[in-house]
Amino acid sequence: MQPHHGMFDDEDDDAKKVEAPEPMRLKALRIMVMALTGVLIVGVLAVATVLVIRLASPPPAPAPAAFYPAALQAARLGLPRDETITALGASGGALMIATMDAKGRERLRVFDAVSGAQLRAVRIERE
């Protein structure tokens, strides 16, 4: 008489069975899932790294104060007669005017927006 193995008789039989080769589509699917899992892990690590770096760094410097046309309180700006204005710019409390004279020399003139006084004149030389 053979001994009775119980209700888990199939376990020994399964171990003796030879596995069928894995279908190519299933193998490709497994590789894609593993690759996407790796990409997901790398992405989460990258986001965490960027967060740590951004939170640990000092805050950026504040932007310079915006210049509004109403901030220009000067009634008059003194420019030489032979110079023409080629560009205008403003920052904070200063008005910057790029000029060119009759000989083609360029200058950057900086004026105080409140008083209209010329703060500085810089010659621009092209290289």
pLDDT at 74: 75
* Cross-sheet strand order for the sheet of 84-91: 84-91, 94-100, 106-112, 118-124
Closest to 127 measured CA to CA, from 110, 106, 109: 106
Q: How far is CA 17 from CA 11, 20, 124, in A?
A: 10, 9, 88
Position 20 pLDDT exceeds 60: yes
Bridge partners, 121 (sequence order): 109
**% of the chain residues with pLDDT over 70:** 80
- Look up tokens 């000989």; give the residue: 103
Closest to 113 measured CA to CA, from 68, 62, 63: 68
What is the rounded average pLDDT of the residues 50-68? 82
**pLDDT digit string (tens) for 62-116?**
776 666 666 677 778 888 888 999 998 887 778 899 999 989 999 999 998 888 8
How is the chain split among helix, strand and coil, in percent rounded to 5? Answer: 35, 25, 45
Residue 108 tokens read as: 């950057």
Residue 97 tokens read as: 């005017």
Looking at per-residue confidence, does 60 or 27 come out higher? 27
pLDDT at 73: 75
